[in-house]
Structure 1
Amino acid sequence: MSVTLQNIITAIHAKANIDNASGVIDNVSIDSRSQQNNNKTLFFALVGPNHDAHIYIEDLISKGVKNFVVNYIPEILNDKANFYVVDNTLAALQDFASYYRSLFDFPVIGITGSNGKTIVKEWLNFLLSPDFNIIRSPKSYNSQVGVPLSVIAINENHNLGIFEAGISTSGEMIHLQKIIRPSIGILTNIGTAHDEGFSDISHKIKEKLKLFSGVDILILNKNKTVEAFIKPEIKIFTWSTNDRTADVFYQKHTFEDHSILNITYREKSFQVRIPFTDEASAENSMHCILAMLYMKYSLETIVARVSELFPVEMRLKIKTGINNCTLIDDSYSSDFQSLKIALDFLENQKQHKKRTLILSDIFQSGLSNEELYARVSHLIVSHKISRVICIGEVISHFKYKFLNPVSFVSTEEFIAAFDSLEFANETILIKGSRQFEFEKIVSLLEEKTHETVLEINLNAISHNLNFFKSKLDPKTKLMVMVKAFGYGSGSYEIARLLAHHKIDYLGVAFADEGIELRKAGIDLPIMVLNPEMTSFPSIIQHYLEPEIYSLRGLKAFLKIAAEKNLDQYPVHIKINTGMNRLGFDAEMLPELIAVLKETKLVSIKSILSHLAESDNQEDKTFTNQQISDFDRLSKTITESLKINPIRHISNSSGISNFPHAQFDMVRLGIGLYGVSNDAEETKMLENVGTLKSVISQLRSIDPGETVGYNRRFSAKRKTKVATVPIGYADGISRLWGNGVGYVMINNQKAPIIGSICMDMLMADATEINCFEGNEVIIFGKDPTVTAIAEAIHTIPYEILTSISSRVKRVFYRE
């Protein structure tokens, strides 16, 4: 990219606060964390209901960024940079992308629908890449922000584009159409995703079809309902499995590990083998086949290439590696754009100073190899990569451009040398094109645990955080609780994400939790809510801030503070207002105040209390009395000591149900993880954790045969039993067994039968088409932890925090 500032000003209709508009921009950014931000970056300060990127501008200026598209100019920065003022920074980003797209003239495939967009895009990229230099959306960059960023990555050497577009409500697609301007359209499955944003299915169809207003051809599953809304001037190319009037007709025959598609097109019949058995993969394959037919590929080429399709991993995953390593697994993608995204993701993982990049040859960049690997080198330097392991003939030729390079011609050569490479105490980013089979490298580097994993969606964490922040007064501070191993979700990675979002405090239960966060490089203020007096020296050593809830505890801390010659060390005073668990009662306050008046060893950073039933919306009397008592008692302390500390009492439910009780700070806990006691609020939150396992074994039992300990289940019919390697030692309550609960296999409910064992459970999969090794969902979107908790008469907290540490946590970003 190389665009003059003058052209940008015109394209986005900006009022420029700049002396000289003759400069050139070669990078566009919306992410303040990116190490790719520099003096030729144009930063769009996006504003949403839950965020405002203007707060990052001062930091970005200090890092060398000079050009900003803004809604307003922060007062103290007026003469510190070049500002381009617009009414709406998102609209300006889209206008710029539309202008940039107009500079290029080549075929573009535009894809939309409810499901399958990313898979069809990735498969088309694989199928067509031998013949084109393709620019495509990275991962699932299909939103109002993702589409412009995808299109802005086009360069002059690309000759085919593949972009996906996703919408969640009316009025969005028209903006994406102006940016993508597809010549070939593909409409995938129309399902229930984002139904709440549309009045009915007809409304959704009409909105999605706006992407194709200017296409030469529209590829879709033949459907009378959809076709009724397609304008007559748009030419369609249809497929079907039941309507022989479609342009392409097919029938699917399923085998254990693959399917055969018998296809008829223009009176010609041919067979395609796909390595999948599910209906969705067959449909996605047909979209790709029709695109290839339209582009006049031979049947022989189509058959050969489609047979090599593969499962698409749409997420960057963080995994625990051998020898105290952290892995970032992006092993199926190695294009330049996704490398930039993965390196920015790596930047947020600060657990290890040492960073290794394992990288294969990069294809379809649209650049010469010399220019491509020069740019890769620049990225590697800016992200402070310690070591680069190059795999592939081309990248090995350019290894001299990298720091501390090691090169191998093939993955097999790397594997042969693995023992000599010494991986330990580092973060390893693994990025490889599909043909290099980097999953073999991931398998070598990944810590060996059993096949059950708890997947944590970092995007959902950000969404939920912003949802609750939107309920707060702008001046209200925010503490987020990461105690109990982040409510079972893992504390290090979540704490790093929270640090980026500039929260004010982290809260942990015990000192060792805070110490581990410090060792992982977390430098946010950390409050220890339940410190044991024996931990006070360690608390001071790692600059944690203890909650003080008794005179005994205060005097013990003051004694140690005196021994260490501390001055104004931050502590937090807890008042008991009715929880009757920890805290100073009202009659203790005179003695507390007297002790504090006589010392300068500590500084009262905050005064807090704890709500006992903030989730009770039917009778708020007790909670309102707690709030009133806290206000009165905390003022007694502040007025007596003439101090102005932070005051806080609200938890997740309190934020929503008692907005008048925000005081100076609130404490967000379970809400961050997508759990609320309010059904309507739950709809606004996103699921964070999905507990997954696999089918270890399938067996068939006859009527009268039993399953599990004490033979608690007896089959009444011929039953297919799926054994899953997860049990009560992993945190699955035995109360959820024997017909009470269920797991999900291939999107279908499989009732749990018999007693849940220590390491296994059994499910009835009689009505489900499944095989050994298939994925099993224990909880997530269905069943939710709330539903499980209700069924076994407990609370979601217990479900989440019970998940054993032997269950591997995998963090990912969509």
Structure 2
Amino acid sequence: MNAEQFYPLFLQSGKVTIDSRKIEQGDIFFAFSGENFNAAEHAEKAVDAGAIAVIVEQQQFENTERNIYYVPSTLEFLQAFAVYHRHQLDIPVIGLTGSNGKTTTKELIHAVLSQKFNVQYTSGNLNNHIGVPLTLLSIKPEHEMAVIEMGANHQKEIELLCSIAQPDLGYITNFGKAHLEGFGGFEGVIKGKSELYDYLKSYQKTILVNEDDAIQKEKTEGYAHRITFGTENSDYRFDLMTQEQFVGLQYQGIQAVSKLTGIYNFTNLCAAAALGLHFGIDFENIKEAVESYTPTNMRSQIVKRPGKTLVMDTYNANPSSMAASLQNFITFEGSKTIIIGDMLELGEESEEEHRGILELARQLGFDQVITVGKNFRTVNQDTEAFESTAELMDYLKEHPVRSENILLKASRGIALEKAVDLI
């Protein structure tokens, strides 16, 4: 079985899935296996549930009469098949990576481009070596454009994802202190994320550049195929504007205010707007997209409660994004409490980075600083330092937060959102 032979079945399918529990009529099921599971055992059940084809990597489960096919590696076949499908697509594919703001930027770009085009984009956080192929395979004939988010925690990963997604246009949101352990330090982050630039340059594709970012500017200097924003000499220039806790942008006298908090989201808005203008969308329509977009994914999400404003930013955290969140939150009017959780995957720099964030929090002068996680507990000797969210929740039952504004910021693994109902 190869990609070309399998493609006619794919064209009949509803979607591709790797979850045997969510099989629907007409699906194709890719059965993965690991140390503690073997999805191929569910191949026959998947067909019974409506799957029109199943890919397995154990030959004993093959049954060609029921369209259950053996391949040496489910992962490698999924990736190769996604590449084959990519070659059939005649639409612009936008690749997106960066240390912070990838998902928010992806959703903003989708919102803006959808004003004119039928756009497919990465669902949720399907941005890795499995998620990118699944996103590509979700692109249907009716789609006119695609936005593919690419995540990475080590070098050569973006290179692999580019070889699969083969973007026509790419954007790196920023270079920050994320996944330092896997990348081997900040210089490793720059090198790893820049693999997107390397791919785009090698194929003479287009790069979107924030010229206010010194690293982006340096890495793309002199390259012919650029769309730029940020400075007076850029292709597109936007002015920052704020309204209460919310951030927006202005272009040629037209203002658009988002439902996002944090000045750090200004460049995310600019990137989406620049792409919209590049693809011929009027700024009035871009304004509509920006103002209609509502964050619901625990990223810069504002939740209003009686007498309180909660800022939910609990999907991920690293030193760069944490510092930006604290500096933004201190500008809120009224009393302020921060509940900050561990930043994961920092390796040998973990203690130093957590200490630096704690010192920043104290310098900024918040009314209350609460930390959660073993890494913060190591550097925080105060009474309001907890090793887990469960410990925090026990504390909050007896000691409710009194501040008018409350920030929750942590890596996903800390699960700070569980404490929201107690705030």
TM-score of the aligned structures, taking structure 2 as reference length: 0.67
* Amino acid in the other structure paired with 1:209: Y
Report the Cα distance in structure 2 between the residues aligned to 1:54 and 1:777, rounded to whole angstroms.
Answer: 49
Report the Cα distance in structure 2 between the residues aligned to 1:260 and 1:114, rounded to whole angstroms.
Answer: 22
What do residues 195-222 of structure 1 show as CA deviations (whole Å, max 9, x unaligned)? 3332424422432324534464311212
* Amino acid in the other structure paired with 2:104: I
- Matching residue of 2:109: 124
1:799 to 380, 391, 405: 391
* Amino acid in the other structure paired with 2:200: F
Matched, 1:138 2:123: yes
On the 8 A contact 2:372/2:387 being kept in 1, the answer is: no
CA 1:194/1:49 → structure 2, altered by over 3 Å: closer, same or farther? farther
Percent identity over the alignment? 24
* Amino acid in the other structure paired with 2:226: I
Report the Cα distance in structure 2 between the residues aligned to 1:251 and 1:455, rounded to whole angstroms.
Answer: 25
Q: Summarize the alignment of residues 664-813 of structure 1 with structure 2, pairs less than 5 Å apart.
A: 721-722=335-336, 749-750=361-362, 764-765=365-366, 778-780=370-372, 784=376, 792=383, 796=387, 799=391, 802-803=394-395, 809=418
1:106 to 91, 109, 112: 91
- Matching residue of 1:85: 70
Deviation for aligned residue 1:112: 1.7
Report the Cα distance in structure 2 between the residues aligned to 1:801 and 1:253, rounded to whole angstroms.
Answer: 37
Deviation for aligned residue 1:284: 0.6
1:285 to 262, 269, 273: 269
Q: Secondary structure at the match of 2:126?
A: coil
What do residues 655-682 of structure 1 show as CA deviations (whole Å, max 9, x unaligned)? xxxxxxxxxxxxxxxxxxxxxxxxxxxx
Q: Summarize the alignment of residues 324-723 of structure 1 with structure 2, pairs less than 5 Å apart.
A: 721-722=335-336
Structure with larger RCO (C-alpha < 8 A, sep 6+): 2
Q: Structure 1: 5+ residue runs without aligned partners?
A: 12-20, 264-268, 317-331, 333-438, 460-682, 684-693, 700-720, 726-741, 752-762, 767-775
* Amino acid in the other structure paired with 2:210: N
Q: Secondary structure at the match of 1:237?
A: strand
Report the Cα distance in structure 1 between the residues aligned to 2:254 and 2:373, rounded to whole angstroms.
Answer: 37
2:216 to 213, 226, 237: 226
On the 8 A contact 2:23/2:49 being kept in 1, the answer is: no
CA 1:79/1:35 → structure 2, altered by over 3 Å: closer, same or farther? closer
- Matching residue of 2:279: 295
Deviation for aligned residue 1:31: 0.8
Q: Secondary structure at the match of 2:22?
A: coil
* Amino acid in the other structure paired with 1:799: E
- Matching residue of 1:236: 226
Q: Secondary structure at the match of 2:255?
A: strand
On the 8 A contact 1:238/1:246 being kept in 2, the answer is: yes
Report the Cα distance in structure 1 between the residues aligned to 2:44 and 2:218, rounded to whole angstroms.
Answer: 53
CA 1:781/1:449 → structure 2, altered by over 3 Å: closer, same or farther? farther
On the 8 A contact 1:173/1:211 being kept in 2, the answer is: no
Q: Secondary structure at the match of 2:143?
A: coil
CA 1:31/1:296 → structure 2, altered by over 3 Å: closer, same or farther? same
* Amino acid in the other structure paired with 1:218: I
Deviation for aligned residue 1:89: 1.5
- Matching residue of 1:305: 288
Report the Cα distance in structure 1 between the residues aligned to 2:107 and 2:291, rounded to whole angstroms.
Answer: 13
Deviation for aligned residue 1:283: 0.7
What do residues 108-133 of structure 1 show as CA deviations (whole Å, max 9, x unaligned)? 22222222222122112222323222
- Matching residue of 1:154: 139
Q: Secondary structure at the match of 1:109?
A: strand
- Matching residue of 1:168: 153
* Amino acid in the other structure paired with 2:336: A
Q: Secondary structure at the match of 2:115?
A: coil
- Matching residue of 1:702: none
Q: Secondary structure at the match of 2:275?
A: helix
* Amino acid in the other structure paired with 1:749: A
- Matching residue of 1:203: 191
Deviation for aligned residue 1:28: 1.7
- Matching residue of 1:510: none
What do residues 461-490 of structure 1 show as CA deviations (whole Å, max 9, x unaligned)? xxxxxxxxxxxxxxxxxxxxxxxxxxxxxx
What do residues 725-764 of structure 1 show as CA deviations (whole Å, max 9, x unaligned)? 9xxxxxxxxxxxxxxxx9x99x96258xxxxxxxxxxx93
* Amino acid in the other structure paired with 1:802: D
On the 8 A contact 1:453/1:810 being kept in 2, the answer is: no
- Matching residue of 1:27: 15
Q: Secondary structure at the match of 1:93?
A: helix
On the 8 A contact 1:46/1:90 being kept in 2, the answer is: yes
Report the Cα distance in structure 2 between the residues aligned to 1:207 and 1:188, rounded to whole angstroms.
Answer: 13
Report the Cα distance in structure 1 between the residues aligned to 2:240 and 2:37, rounded to whole angstroms.
Answer: 48
Q: Secondary structure at the match of 2:76?
A: helix
- Matching residue of 1:314: 297
Q: Secondary structure at the match of 1:87?
A: coil
Report the Cα distance in structure 2 between the residues aligned to 1:449 and 1:49, rounded to whole angstroms.
Answer: 49
Q: Summarize the alignment of residues 45-56 of structure 1 with structure 2, pairs less than 5 Å apart.
A: 45-47=31-33, 52-56=38-42
Report the Cα distance in structure 2 between the residues aligned to 1:118 and 1:785, rounded to whole angstroms.
Answer: 29
Q: Secondary structure at the match of 1:102?
A: helix
On the 8 A contact 1:786/1:795 being kept in 2, the answer is: no
TM-score of the aligned structures, taking structure 1 as reference length: 0.38
* Amino acid in the other structure paired with 1:217: T
CA 1:78/1:99 → structure 2, altered by over 3 Å: closer, same or farther? closer
- Matching residue of 1:340: none
Q: Secondary structure at the match of 1:98?
A: helix
On the 8 A contact 1:110/1:211 being kept in 2, the answer is: no
Report the Cα distance in structure 2 between the residues aligned to 1:50 and 1:179, rounded to whole angstroms.
Answer: 28
* Amino acid in the other structure paired with 2:191: H
* Amino acid in the other structure paired with 1:46: F
Q: Structure 2: 5+ residue runs without aligned partners?
A: 319-328, 340-354, 401-416
CA 1:781/1:158 → structure 2, altered by over 3 Å: closer, same or farther? farther
Matched, 1:217 2:206: yes
- Matching residue of 1:274: 257
Report the Cα distance in structure 2 between the residues aligned to 1:313 and 1:110, rounded to whole angstroms.
Answer: 23
Deviation for aligned residue 1:149: 1.4
On the 8 A contact 1:455/1:809 being kept in 2, the answer is: no
Report the Cα distance in structure 2 between the residues aligned to 1:82 and 1:217, rounded to whole angstroms.
Answer: 41
Deviation for aligned residue 1:156: 1.6
**Higher alpha-carbon Rg:** 1
Deviation for aligned residue 1:53: 3.3
CA 1:783/1:237 → structure 2, altered by over 3 Å: closer, same or farther? same
Residues paired across the two proteins, number: 366
Report the Cα distance in structure 2 between the residues aligned to 1:794 and 1:232, rounded to whole angstroms.
Answer: 50
2:56 to 66, 70, 74: 70
- Matching residue of 1:381: none
Report the Cα distance in structure 2 between the residues aligned to 1:289 and 1:120, rounded to whole angstroms.
Answer: 10
What do residues 210-256 of structure 1 show as CA deviations (whole Å, max 9, x unaligned)? 4534464311212454344449665112223xx54433344535453
CA 1:205/1:245 → structure 2, altered by over 3 Å: closer, same or farther? farther
* Amino acid in the other structure paired with 2:207: L
Report the Cα distance in structure 2 between the residues aligned to 1:97 and 1:225, rounded to whole angstroms.
Answer: 32
Report the Cα distance in structure 1 between the residues aligned to 2:290 and 2:62, rounded to whole angstroms.
Answer: 59
Deviation for aligned residue 1:99: 1.4
Report the Cα distance in structure 2 between the residues aligned to 1:7 and 1:65, rounded to whole angstroms.
Answer: 18
Deviation for aligned residue 1:286: 1.0
Matched, 1:185 2:170: yes
Q: Secondary structure at the match of 1:314?
A: coil
